[in-house]
Chain A
Amino acid sequence: MQVANKLSPFFENLNFERDDNTMVINFGPQHPSAHGQLRLVLELDGEQVVKAYPDIGYLHRGIEKMAENMTYNEFLPTTDRLDYIASTSNNYAYALAVEKLLGIEAPRRAQVIRTMLLELNRVISHLFFIATHALDVGAMSVFLYAFREREFGMDLMEDYCGARLTHSAVRIGGVPLDLPANWLENLAAFCDKVEYELEHTYEALLTENRIWKMRLEDVGVISAEDALNWGCTGVMLRGSGVKYDIRKEEPYELYAELDFDVPVSDRCDSYGRYRLYMEEMKQSVRIMRQLIPMYAQTQPQLMAHAPKYISATKEDIMTQNYALMQHFVLVTQGMRPPKGEVYVPTESPKGELGFYIKSEGEPYAYRLKCRAPSFFHTGLLQKLLVGTYIADVVTIIGTTNIVFGEVDR
């Protein structure tokens, strides 16, 4: 019999010894397919999962607590660390929530740039999904090809904002920078590249691949009612046959003007979701192509004109006394939004990313709640994994596309 103490806890599977048929294993927190710090406690009967318990919190940094102790503009770079695969979508969701609260709208050019960046981030995130999901299932070469294209996308982000991963490319009230020279040409080339590679590389490698289909078809099946009940959003919801895309249903930014389709699958399994990710990338490319000519028709203003909340342009600050005073007050004290509460949902690559902000009229948010899609998709695992085989666990974790920066916050 083992003697456990604080420095050497139990290391053998006592439950297995006691009940002699179900075995409890720890999947993670250090597992290459756990997509971060996920600890799954699985109870196995033979190779079948009887009970799954996702244990999270290994990456908890208290981002909601930090939001209560930072002014609104100070907090924005922190949102990069939520879904670090597509940072701009977090920045944007937060900025949009604050803008709703303030009652301001970004100027047209900023909207065009933001929508481009959001879709670029969606492509980057989906490429990452394809890469890691294929790697988890066992297709190494797709990982290399998808990461190659993702690098081009990140190069575009780097050209725009200087960062590859934690972008902070959106500000409350607009965007900080105009597009650099040749950026639109590079974006168009990236669109061509992604579209070509989607058809000739990823789909050619995977879609009709026998092993890929065997590993994904009828794995991780979730019905439409369950998907709604467990709080699934994004591809997880559309993969179960519920056609709900926030960009279409509750349009924000320029999505009301853009022409794109919302792919839906009623297969309810991992393969259907994989097809949706591929299709969504094509739609993102389509959206970006429509946005490129829209940029030239806009005025050069990048930040909304709202002197109570938003600093003036650098040129005005340097030349005009009042703009400088205003900027000084906003930087040292922070903006004071009106009292009220707001919940703004956006369609991030992972699903519905929403920020609930409760403002008491102070420069610090009284309460900020980040509604992260991955958090609810992780909760779903305790339903989805039961009855599956241990070999499919990795596929199912991969198909939920969870990112732990967002789960643990």
Chain B
Amino acid sequence: MRKYVPKDNVQGKSYYTDRFWVAPRVPREEVTDAHFTGVVATLGVLAKEAHVELGQLIVHIDARDNVAVIKALKEACGYTQCSEQSAVDYLAKDGEFELFYQLLNVNEAKRARVVCRIKKGEAIESIVPLFNSANFAEREMFDMFGIKVNNHPFLKRILMPDDWEGHPLLKTYPLHGDEFASWYEVDKIFGKEYRDIIGPENRDPAKVDRHDTKRFARIGYEVPFGTDISEGETQKEIEYSEALLVNYNKKESKTLDKRR
């Protein structure tokens, strides 16, 4: 029986698996740092869970509180820069996206990450009124995951073309693209009805046809330009020059092949 391949996560997977291997975890530490303790105290009940992982504070919050929490961090705790904002796809496992906001406190040189989860199809409130750097970051998140951002000033695809279908960083999206991606240029330039006329073999301009004698030549099997070699060609002996010194006669060497 063929092995079952899950369709909800088509990304790279290890061929070798060990049933008894349990992955260790990066230690999650209690919040003991004075600054981070103050931050957690400021957030109060808004912070559902807080811990320190590898020197940075991670605060888990409810997705509906994201603007309130980030506003508090910006105005009360001095986190004046939003370095990064994006999402992680957990649809296959939990049916959720995990969103994170990476914040920087310039004066204290501290970094905090605000993490929240939203269900599939839910939208998140934009933090552009607080941090303009989220403008591009949220657009990228929308482009890559299809997460809608409410009240974003200009929510539009940023890296992919406007008329693209699908969101490339979803775990369901294969690395080499889907059906739409492979026909994108053909559909756009000629129209969908030309898919059959052009065919999958001509879709790829990098395709090499072995019987094409107009663009390619086989060493040792040279034939005149444009000859039909679908029936096969005869091998020619490769001749090596025996002359030590070549007399480059300028007049003769300049004659060009007429068919070009």
Residue positions of A touching B, CB distance < 8 A: 6-7, 56-57, 60, 62, 64-66, 68-71, 100-101, 103, 226, 228-231, 233, 242, 244, 249-250, 332-334, 336, 338-343, 345, 352, 354, 356, 358, 360-364, 366-367, 369, 371, 375-376, 378-379, 382-383, 408-409
Q: Are B14 and A334 in contact (CB under 8 A)?
A: yes
Tell me whether A242 and B132 are in contact in the complex, defined as CB-CB below 8 angstroms, given that A68-B11, A338-B23, A356-B100 are known contacts.
no
With A66-B175, A229-B81, A342-B54 given, name 5 new contacts (CB 8 A): A334-B14, A356-B84, A356-B86, A371-B83, A408-B159
Q: Are B14 and A57 in contact (CB under 8 A)?
A: no
Listed A/B pairs (30) with beta-carbon separation below 8 Å: A6-B189, A56-B158, A56-B159, A60-B159, A66-B175, A68-B169, A69-B11, A70-B12, A228-B80, A228-B81, A229-B132, A231-B82, A231-B83, A231-B131, A231-B137, A233-B83, A242-B106, A339-B23, A339-B24, A341-B113, A345-B83, A354-B84, A361-B23, A362-B14, A364-B14, A366-B88, A371-B83, A375-B140, A379-B133, A382-B135
Q: Are A60 and B160 in contact (CB under 8 A)?
A: yes
> Would you call B111 an interface residue if the criterion is a C-beta within 8 Å of the partner chain's C-beta atoms?
yes
Q: Give Cα A375 to B140, complex, Å.
A: 10
Q: Are B53 and A341 in contact (CB under 8 A)?
A: yes
Q: Please name all residues of chain A whose beta carbon is closer than 8 Å to the beta carbon of B53 when the two chains form the complex.
A: 340-342
CB distance from B257 to the nearest CB of A (A): 34
Q: Please name all residues of chain B whose beta carbon is closer than 8 Å to the beta carbon of A230 when the two chains form the complex.
A: 132-133
Q: Please name all residues of chain A whose beta carbon is closer than 8 Å to the beta carbon of B58 when the two chains form the complex.
A: 341
> Would you call B56 an interface residue if the criterion is a C-beta within 8 Å of the partner chain's C-beta atoms?
yes
> Would you call B168 an interface residue if the criterion is a C-beta within 8 Å of the partner chain's C-beta atoms?
yes
Tell me whether A383 and B132 are in contact in the complex, defined as CB-CB below 8 angstroms, given that A333-B16, A358-B88 are known contacts.
yes
Q: Give Cα A208 to B168, complex, Å.
A: 49
Q: Please name all residues of chain B whose beta carbon is closer than 8 Å to the beta carbon of A244 when the two chains form the complex.
A: 106, 109
Tell me whether A343 and B25 are in contact in the complex, defined as CB-CB below 8 angstroms, given that A229-B131, A356-B84, A369-B86 are known contacts.
no
Q: Are B81 and A250 in contact (CB under 8 A)?
A: no
Considering only CB atoms, which chain A residue lies closest to B157 in the complex? A57
Q: Are B159 and A69 in contact (CB under 8 A)?
A: no
Residues of chain B in range 86-144 having any CB-CB distance to chain A below 8 Å: 86, 88-89, 100, 102, 106, 109, 111, 113, 131-133, 135-137, 140, 144
> Would you call B38 an interface residue if the criterion is a C-beta within 8 Å of the partner chain's C-beta atoms?
no
CB distance from A301 to the nearest CB of B (A): 25
Q: Are A340 and B26 in contact (CB under 8 A)?
A: yes
Tell me whether A376 and B109 are in contact in the complex, defined as CB-CB below 8 angstroms, given that A66-B175, A371-B102 are known contacts.
no
Q: Are B109 and A249 in contact (CB under 8 A)?
A: yes
Residues of chain B in range 35-58 having any CB-CB distance to chain A below 8 Å: 53-54, 56, 58
Q: Are A65 and B175 in contact (CB under 8 A)?
A: yes
Which of A57, A101, A333, A369 has most B Cβ within 10 Å? A369
CB distance from B8 to the nearest CB of A (A): 14
Tell me whether A340 and B54 are in contact in the complex, defined as CB-CB below 8 angstroms, given that A333-B16, A363-B14, A371-B102 are known contacts.
yes
Q: Please name all residues of chain A whose beta carbon is closer than 8 Å to the beta carbon of B232 when the two chains form the complex.
A: none
CB distance from A247 to the nearest CB of B (A): 12
Q: Are B26 and A339 in contact (CB under 8 A)?
A: yes
Partner of B26 from A231, A338, A383, A408 at Cβ < 8 Å: A338
Q: Give Cα A59 to B102, complex, Å.
A: 25
Partner of B109 from A250, A342, A369 at Cβ < 8 Å: A250
Which of A70, A233, A250, A340 has most B Cβ within 10 Å? A340
Q: Give Cα A376 to B84, complex, Å.
A: 9
Considering only CB atoms, which chain A residue lies closest to B131 in the complex? A229
Considering only CB atoms, which chain B residue lies closest to A69 in the complex? B12
Q: Are B14 and A333 in contact (CB under 8 A)?
A: yes
> Would you call B13 an interface residue if the criterion is a C-beta within 8 Å of the partner chain's C-beta atoms?
yes
Tell me whether A228 and B136 are in contact in the complex, defined as CB-CB below 8 angstroms, given that A339-B24, A361-B23 are known contacts.
no
Q: Please name all residues of chain A whose beta carbon is closer than 8 Å to the beta carbon of B56 when the two chains form the complex.
A: 343
> Would you call B226 an interface residue if the criterion is a C-beta within 8 Å of the partner chain's C-beta atoms?
no
Q: Please name all residues of chain A whose beta carbon is closer than 8 Å to the beta carbon of B11 when the two chains form the complex.
A: 68-69, 364
Q: Are A339 and B14 in contact (CB under 8 A)?
A: no
> Would you call B191 an interface residue if the criterion is a C-beta within 8 Å of the partner chain's C-beta atoms?
yes
Q: Are B111 and A338 in contact (CB under 8 A)?
A: no
> Would you call B3 an interface residue if the criterion is a C-beta within 8 Å of the partner chain's C-beta atoms?
no
Q: Please name all residues of chain B whose beta carbon is closer than 8 Å to the beta carbon of A56 when the two chains form the complex.
A: 158-159
CB distance from A390 to the nearest CB of B (A): 23
Considering only CB atoms, which chain B residue lies closest to A341 in the complex? B53
> Would you call B188 an interface residue if the criterion is a C-beta within 8 Å of the partner chain's C-beta atoms?
yes
Q: Are B102 and A376 in contact (CB under 8 A)?
A: no
> Would you call B224 an interface residue if the criterion is a C-beta within 8 Å of the partner chain's C-beta atoms?
no
> Would you call B161 an interface residue if the criterion is a C-beta within 8 Å of the partner chain's C-beta atoms?
yes
Q: Are A64 and B158 in contact (CB under 8 A)?
A: no
Q: Please name all residues of chain A whose beta carbon is closer than 8 Å to the beta carbon of B82 when the two chains form the complex.
A: 231
Partner of B102 from A343, A358, A362, A378 at Cβ < 8 Å: A343
CB distance from A406 to the nearest CB of B (A): 12
CB distance from B143 to the nearest CB of A (A): 8
Q: Please name all residues of chain A whose beta carbon is closer than 8 Å to the beta carbon of B160 when the two chains form the complex.
A: 57, 60
CB distance from A367 to the nearest CB of B (A): 4
Kindly list the 10 A-B residue pairs having the minimum CB-CB distance in the complex, ordered from nearest: A361-B23, A231-B133, A340-B26, A379-B136, A69-B12, A249-B109, A57-B159, A338-B24, A371-B84, A367-B88
Q: Are B136 and A378 in contact (CB under 8 A)?
A: yes
Considering only CB atoms, which chain B residue lies closest to A340 in the complex? B26
Q: Are A343 and B175 in contact (CB under 8 A)?
A: no
Q: Please name all residues of chain B whose beta carbon is closer than 8 Å to the beta carbon of A408 when the two chains form the complex.
A: 159
Q: Please name all residues of chain B whose beta carbon is closer than 8 Å to the beta carbon of A383 when the two chains form the complex.
A: 132
